[in-house]
Structure 1
Amino acid sequence: MEDALSRDVWSHPQLAAAVVNEDWGAVFRTYRRLTGLSQTKLGERVGLVQPDVSDIERGRRRVTSVEVRQRVLAGLGVPADLQPSRALPTSGGSPVAGLVVPGAGPDEDLLARVTSVVDSSHRVDVPTLDWLDRLLAEHRRAEDTIGSRPLVDVMRQQLRTVVDLYAGARGPLADRVVRLASEHAQFLAWMAQDQAQTAAALAWYDRSHEWALEAGDANMAATTLSMKAHMAWSGGRGDRCVRLADAARWSAQGTSLGVQGMAAQMAARGHALNGEPGEAHRLLDEAQALISRAAEHPADEPVWMYFYDETWFTLQRGMAALHLHDWQAAMDHLTLGLDALPDEYRRDKTWYRACLAHALAGAGESAQAVSVAVASVPDAAAVGRPHSWNELHATAAVLLRKGAQEGKQLVAALREFD
């Protein structure tokens, strides 16, 4: 377990950047913070005594020996693609798989620059950053269909590419690189959240928020807080959801109407989770007004808000009604939203169908609940674990608790994919 954790920490951008920059004090400090190792235990891994580890962390000693440097790389299991001595080919090599959008490849020179370690400022230019923006947008939309699991490693590699770019960026380009890193970290956080990896998601959201503030990106800074509110809501923590959503609303001035609307509806869902219909409905009405105004000026919204429109808001109203046990309103809103939701949003359609099944079960519509739930099982098993999968199990529990025989039918369908 410890070895698996040690390998996974290298996806953290701060640790990756420290290795690339050969800042061994930062490497030791960050590695220990992420793994929980003591200075003594880390020293055992790299062949150093505890006082030497302490001196390196405090900057009192520098790692100048090639032999010590190699012991650190080997002892901490630094991936080959992060090791400073490794030079990726600038031409003729195989491109990183995740940096290729089918049917829309860049010219060879641009692809070489994007997939190579940047070692001079002339490699950081507008076409390169435009291409990385486009890649991120394509992968966001791909995740809607295929889920997060196939994309995690791809996006980690892309973030490493962006981190490498920072060393060669100057002026406005440096600001843009930091903004791009913030967007990648937010997407990685969302994917970790989608897989119920709470600690990793929180770490990525914190990193994204910090980079957003550095880049002066109020929309992303507020979005990361809204997404942390969503995490709190997912964990059944209504009060924390409201506090984080309120922070998203008021801490970042100059945010877009859509970003403000997202924060307002997250606060509403927190109040709904707490069984507070008055505040929930007030904030939902406020959010709807913001979303409607945002729809009049779509170009003013950040690119990652592409999904958030009247259809999504209708679904969020359904979720709030579900928490308030207003089964009829939940069924009405979820059905209306699902009918309008495009098929390419496979993961999300699976989630909201599972929620609709839950609402139907709560309303006593057992046969219809099982019909919707059973039809959702294959997609929930493929792209909806753990959230949609857990919601279907919750639906089965509601049916069984109500004494509905159909609950056993749903349990049997779920077991086929367990």
Structure 2
Amino acid sequence: MTAPGLSIWSHPELLSALAAEDWGAVLRTYRRLSGLSQTKVGERVGLAQPDVSDIERGRRRVTSGEVRQRIVGGLGAPVHVAEPYRAPVAGLVLPGPGPDADLLARITGATEATHKADAATLDRLDRLLAEHRSAEDLIGSRPLVGLMRQQLRAVVDLFGSARGPLAGRVVRLAAEHAQFLAWMAQDQGQTAAALAWYDRSHDWALEAGDADMAATTLSMKAHMAWSGGQGDRAVRLAEAARWSAPDASPGVRGMAAQMAARGHSLNGAGDHAHRLIDEAQGLITRASEHPEDEPAWMYFYGETWFTLQRGMIAMHLRDWPDAIGHLRTGLAKLEAPYRRDRTWYGCCLAHAYAGAREAAEALTVAVPLVPDAATIGRPHSWNELHVTAAALMRRGAKEGRLLADALGQYD
């Protein structure tokens, strides 16, 4: 047996199985080296124990990129081993350093302008970005990635002809586009691409003197850490967003407080989490009284959103009744067109029911969500349903196997 951690991934037998993409051998070898059971490995990769057994015995093939990513990520493969299995977003990750190697040169004027920058053009680009943000809320990120990348190119092409205040405005608009591309990469589980875009957005925001965007990029990195189960990192990044931009708007400061609350909830620090979510809601309420003073990307916060966030915090704290109550209330108020958000929070509700040992309710909520989780909800909602199925099966509930079978039709 080898001690868990990086030393496992230095074992030639495990590396050989991964190189051959023999996922059954990967699971078997990892379990032998780590001493973990099929159930424990399943918990790490978001698969039910019978699914782990079927993969190990060759009765089930792993064809889904998301499942491959869950295996290498859940088993802690180091970056140089896991990277080939982190599929890039089409049209987003290009060869060379960073998300797009020529954009930095273009934004600093290394290429000649092909379009003329004027206030009217920038106004139209502002409106177009706002429309795309709203569209992404409804249809998800995948259809918009290529379009937004082209739109960012159009923005940076304006820099060479921009003069005076217009030049700063172009850089600020580029930062907003990069932040949106980062969010879309994050939504699709493309961590490396998202971090690269957030870094680019943060740099441009600092150059433009945009405290709101600089703080937002740090808050969104905190969100990524929370998504990856890294409570301490989420708290540190959220606190950095707060102290590094004291002049940010109340709404942006509220976002940072809310991200810190998420991190503390992951760590089981309920008092800190509840105090910060209350502080966040107070700041957002202040922001709603003067929306003209808030940046354009702060449009989505409101009472319903905070109800859902309180449900998420309760879920992390394993306060299942409180989680169920808040998530049900929030979902009832969330408009039907918001399919992605309804799918995500619905999957969390199913998880909360499973945690409360209400297996029938968990299955009733989860099964109708499977088609949307398999499409616009990958990887986050999809993984949450796998976690729910595994939780049900660990408790011996037949509903866990039924949910796993429903998921298997789309894996």
Same fold by TM-score, threshold 0.5 exceeded?
yes
Structure 2 partner of 1:135: 128
- Matched to 1:154, the amino acid is L
> What is the identity, as a one-letter code, of the residue corresponding to 1:244?
L
Instruction: After TM superposition, list the pairs within 5 Å mapping 1:105-254 onto structure 2.
Output: 118-119=113-114, 123-254=116-247
1:170 is aligned with what amino acid? R
- Give 2:301's match in structure 1, choosing from 305, 308, 329: 308
Does residue 277 of the first structure (1) align with residue 284 of the second (2)?
no
- 2:250 aligned to 252, 257, 270, which one? 257
The answer as to whether partners of 1:178 and 1:211 remain within 8 angstroms in 2 is yes
Q: Which of 388, 401, 404 is matched with 1:408 structurally?
A: 401
Shift in Å, 1:118? 3.8
How far does residue 256 in structure 1 lie from its aligned partner after superposition? Answer: 1.4
Instruction: Pick closer, same or farther for the CA change 1:216–1:22 going to 2, 3 Å.
Output: closer
Deviations 1:316-337 (A, max 9, x none): 1111110000001111111111
In the TM superposition, 1:276-295 aligns within 5 A as 276-295=269-288
- Structure 1 residue aligned with 2:65: none
Alpha-carbon distance, 1:9 to partner: 3.5
Q: TM-score, normalised by structure 2?
A: 0.75
Max radius of gyration: which structure?
1
Amino acid at match of 1:343: A
Q: Kindly state the Cα deviation for residue 356 of structure 1 after the two structures are TM-superposed.
A: 0.5
TM-score by length of 1: 0.74
C-alpha distance in 2, partners of 1:172/1:355? Answer: 45
Determine the structure 2 residue equivalent to 1:15. Answer: 102
> Using the alignment, how far apart are the partners of 1:200 and 1:7 within structure 2?
6
How many residues are treated as equivalent by the alignment? Answer: 323
Determine the C-alpha separation between the residues in 2 that align with 1:140 and 1:21.
26
User: Unaligned regions of 5+ residues in structure 1, if any?
Assistant: 24-83, 85-116
Which among 373, 380, 385 is matched to residue 380 of structure 1?
373
For residues 49-106 of structure 1, give each alpha carbon's deviation from its aligned partner in whole angstroms, at most 9, with x where no partner exists.
Answer: xxxxxxxxxxxxxxxxxxxxxxxxxxxxxxxxxxx7xxxxxxxxxxxxxxxxxxxxxx
Q: CA deviation at 1:13?
A: 4.5
Task: Name the CA shift for 1:127/1:13 in 2 (closer, same or farther; >3 Å).
Answer: farther
Contact 1:291 1:310 in 2 (8 A): no
- How far is 1:7 from its partner? 7.1
Q: 1:223 to 1:147 in 2, by over 3 A?
A: same
Moved more, 251-260 or 166-175: 251-260
1:388 is matched by which residue type in structure 2?
A: S
Provide the aligned C-alpha RMSD in A.
2.2
**Conservation of the 8 A alpha-carbon contact between 1:225 and 1:244:** yes
Shift of 1:8: 1.8
1:19 offset after TM fit, Å?
7.1
Distance change (3 Å), C-alpha of 1:177 and 1:19: closer
